[in-house]
Amino acid sequence: MTSLQQGTVDTFKEQFAGPVFEPTDAGYNEARQIWNAMIDRKPALIAKCSSVEDVVSAVNFGRDQSLLISVKGGGHNIAGNAVCDDGLMIDLSQMKDIEIDVEKRRAFVGPGCTLADFDAAAQMHGLATPLGINSTTGVAGLTLGGGFGWLSRKYGMTVDNLMSVDMVTADGRQTRASANENSDLFWGTRGGGGNFGIVTRFEFELHPVGPDLLSGLMVFPFDQARAVVTQFARFTETMPDELNVWLVIRHAPPLPFLPESVHGQPIVALAICYVGDPEAGEKLIAPLRSFGDLHGEHVGVQPFVNWQQAFDPLLTEGARNYWKSHNFVKLTDDVVKVALEYGDKLPSPHCEIFIASIGGQTGRVAPDAMAYSSRDANYVMNVHARWETPAEDERCRQWARAFFDATKPHASSGAYINFLSEDDTDRVEFAYGESYERLVEVKQKYDPENLFRINQNISPH
């Protein structure tokens, strides 16, 4: 620890209820790990908050000691923003309180909840809100950046369903933001990342969902990818809001419904989820089967919570990851051509090209209604490079960068801040798009010293 006196740290620890780790403590190394193994940072202190009071004292301590502060929710941020070198890591992952008001259809969610925590609590009552597709992701970071998943075409972005936040701001004050209270802060919080303070409670609107939904995968050989991707691009332009079809190009995992000979082979897969009556969904998805000669499919009615965990085995923590992302209004033939070219040279068995077709309700909100402004993003492409050893770093990153560059001329403005990598700092302003100027004003008001800057940062200066 560089400038901190041990006595100051000891005083902080005495009035902090949760555990605090210093670099020599047992448990320190485990506590600094996050999802992306490419990130290897060593904070001076890790403070695991157990209450809002802990968050207040951590913010006050970090500010008064002029420490760099990082904030951890679920720890999934690809750029590694949950953890910092030599500073104070404020870890919220133990704050998992969750309360469902069934009558009012509201969820009150602690900042340490994962999507699995949220879905489990809400689905007990047949309710849900749009979240992401990997159940170990943190609700906090996902929400603050925008958030989308299988329910988004029908019910909008996660931020469209956010009703209020309780927050600790840089001055250590507890405040609430909603449409009626601190509405400028609420505007900025819905898409402006963790720039304005630490959210200690999220309030979401809930919708009746499932609990069983039609969902699953259809898998085609990569040598038919041109036909599959082209038809996917056209089909998704007109499908109803209830239907979701996302596309993945990768090597086949050892899925039990695929012949063993297909395992490890390049494939193109459609991931499907119908948010409505399964029989109606069955009719709508029937044409997808004729996109090519199926290697296999596993589509059926299953609990929504199971589908929310279906991709978890492919997205476990501890691998090395590097992402590049674009938004598209339309998947033109040119985009399809480049996707096929790079899909044909995946540099590791875990790399994938992933195209989420959102649109629907996500596009019906005015771009200036809140900080998240990419309302024309009908498709979000994530070039997901993932591998196991440092020896593969350069090859895999190069592939992702080259693919990103090749698709750039066809991308729309804005980008999803939650998919920006560590080296994407020059894209932050572009990513916030038309909201950026107003975000700077909100930042100047609520965090003029830029205490919260380990994020997709909006500089107040």
Ligand X SMILES: Cc1cc2nc3c(=O)[nH]c(=O)nc-3n(C[C@H](O)[C@H](O)[C@H](O)COP(=O)(O)OP(=O)(O)OC[C@H]3O[C@@H](n4cnc5c(N)ncnc54)[C@H](O)[C@@H]3O)c2cc1C
Binding footprint of ligand X on the chain (CB under 6 A): 35, 70-78, 81-82, 92, 111, 132-134, 137-138, 140-142, 144-145, 147-149, 193-194, 198-199, 315, 418, 455
User: Of all helices (H) and strands (E), which one includes residue 9?
Assistant: helix 6-14
Query: Which one, 158 or 302, has the nearer CB to ligand X?
Result: 158
Tokens 């040598």 locate to: 223
User: Of all helices (H) and strands (E), which one includes residue 236?
Assistant: helix 225-238
The distance of closest approach from Cβ of residue 10 to ligand X in the complex, given in angstroms and rounded to an integer, is 26
In this structure, the strands spanning 88-91 and 212-221 are unpaired
The distance of closest approach from Cβ of residue 174 to ligand X in the complex, given in angstroms and rounded to an integer, is 13
The distance of closest approach from Cβ of residue 292 to ligand X in the complex, given in angstroms and rounded to an integer, is 25
The distance of closest approach from Cβ of residue 139 to ligand X in the complex, given in angstroms and rounded to an integer, is 7
Q: Phi and psi of 255, rounded to 5°?
A: -75, 135
Q: Phi and psi of 359, rounded to 5°?
A: 70, -145
As to burial, measured by CB atoms within 10 angstroms (0-12 exposed, 13-18 middle, 19+ buried), residue 115 is: buried
The distance of closest approach from Cβ of residue 279 to ligand X in the complex, given in angstroms and rounded to an integer, is 27
Query: Which one, 78 or 336, has the nearer CB to ligand X?
Result: 78
Query: Which one, 88 or 340, has the nearer CB to ligand X?
Result: 88
Query: Which one, 207 or 295, has the nearer CB to ligand X?
Result: 207
Query: Which one, 16 or 148, has the nearer CB to ligand X?
Result: 148
The distance of closest approach from Cβ of residue 403 to ligand X in the complex, given in angstroms and rounded to an integer, is 19
Question: Nearest residue to ligand X, using CB?
Answer: 141
* Cα–Cα distance measured from residue 191 to residue 157, given in angstroms and rounded to the nearest whole number: 10
Give me the helices (H) in 47-138, please.
52-64, 115-123
The distance of closest approach from Cβ of residue 75 to ligand X in the complex, given in angstroms and rounded to an integer, is 4
Q: Cα 162 to the chain's mean position, in Å?
A: 15
SS3 state at 434:
helix
* Cα–Cα distance measured from residue 451 to residue 171, given in angstroms and rounded to the nearest whole number: 9
Query: Which one, 198 or 340, has the nearer CB to ligand X?
Result: 198
User: Of all helices (H) and strands (E), which one includes residue 437?
Assistant: helix 436-446
CA nearest neighbour of 56 among 44, 47, 68: 47
Query: Which one, 161 or 418, has the nearer CB to ligand X?
Result: 418
